[in-house]
Amino acid sequence: MAMSFAALAGFVVGALAVLFYRNQIEAPRRTDTTDDVESGAALPQGVASVLAVLPSSAVVLDAHDRVLRASSAARAFGLVKGDRLMAAELLALARQVRRDGEIRESEIDVAGHKFGQETTNFAVRVAPLGTYGQVLVLAEDQTESRRVEAVRRDFVANVSHELKTPVGAMSLLAETIQDAADDPEAVSRFAGRMQHESARLNYLIQDLITLSRIQGAEPIPTPGQVSIDEAIHDAIDHCNTKAVAKDIALVSGGTEGLRIWGDDELLVTALRNLIDNAVAYSPDHTRVVVSVRPAGDSVEISVSDQGIGIPEEALERIFERFFRVDAARSRATGGTGLGLAIVKHVAAAHAGEVSVWSKEGSGSTFTLRLPAFGGTAVAVPPSIPLETAK
């Protein structure tokens, strides 16, 4: 990103320098333009056209630090108001460039002008233009790229940590088994622990593969009609063993025969993660309810539990990768910390959304809202095949 901006900035500086040089050569034939440029009241011919097509913020200052030209992006970000450059750091750089004629590059933070954004980070390049004290300022918003890079670093760090834990545990258990070769009971116990850690490692790898496949929020490559009833049945069947172990009843209800346009495997994956999560965080002898209802042009699928609930301060982060409300409980139940992130990306891949209601001590309800097949949520009798339902 930095290299591409530097290349673009270099090209623009060069192009504008050529325009300035050409206009200065032609100045004797146009004394009125020369007077304007010397006084800093106008730009050489063609410069405004170059600045107008730039995607980044661009500002040209005269010899007295007045703004001669500013792109719409520069004004939108609050870098320019009227004929003044508002960022003090940029103004200081412009004065240094005017004094010694050397191009300077830097990074600055400016108070955010977008909703919910505290600061905007800019990569800037400041260069002299011509011989009349005019200066070109280019600023590229790199806030989003910085955020993405920070997310990537955190993701790599978290994956490394999550992989290291079961791998390290398996290594220690293998050594312990070797030392306890004469104790069949100990060998059996530690072998069971190795199987547990191996399963956890396998779940993590599978979740990473799933997440990498869908995290771009790109449209599903080969969508088709998906029966909500069948997806719920498959998801419940997958989670039933864990639920039985805790005497948790998995119950489905609501409107039958609803369908969406999407990917049945991804929908089952999302529902499985929601139900698994509900079972893991629910006390024994309770129940988890999966319900379906039409909602205009969408279908809503809700998974409700009677579990421990989610603290209000954690609700905003619940769909982040590797975020855990209760890390100890999550790891003890074999959770990878990726389940809800997968649910969020599955919803996005279907042009839908996922929301959560929760209260500590009263349980949680996660709701998937997905576009209905055909544009309207209409129940289809089970006797009509998917391929012919319209």
Beta-carbon contacts of residue 199 (< 8 Å; ≥ 6 apart):
334
**Phi, psi angles (nearest 5°) of residue 136:** -105, 130
In angstroms, the CA 390 to CA 224 distance is 12
Percent with pLDDT over 70 in the chain = 73
Structure tokens at 255: 């409107």
> Containing H/E element for 178?
helix 143-179
Asked if residue 229 has pLDDT above 90, the reply is yes
pLDDT-wise least confident of 35-39, 103-107, 195-199: 35-39
Closest by CA to 261, choosing from 343, 384, 383, 377, is 377
Pairing relation of β-strands 224-227 and 80-81? unpaired
Q: By the 8 A CB rule, do 61 and 67 touch? A: yes
How confident is the model over 339-367, as a mean pLDDT? 90
State residue 306 phi and psi, 5-degree precision. Answer: -115, 40
Average pLDDT over residues 270-282: 91
Whole-angstrom distance, CA of residue 334 vs CA of residue 331: 5
Measured CA distances, 271 to 27, 214, 236, 339, 349 (Å):
72, 15, 8, 10, 14
What does pTM read for this prediction? 0.56
SS3 category, 300:
strand
Task: Give me the pLDDT at residue 204, please.
Answer: 78
Q: What's the average model confidence in pLDDT over 275-286?
A: 91
Q: What pLDDT is recorded for position 335?
A: 59
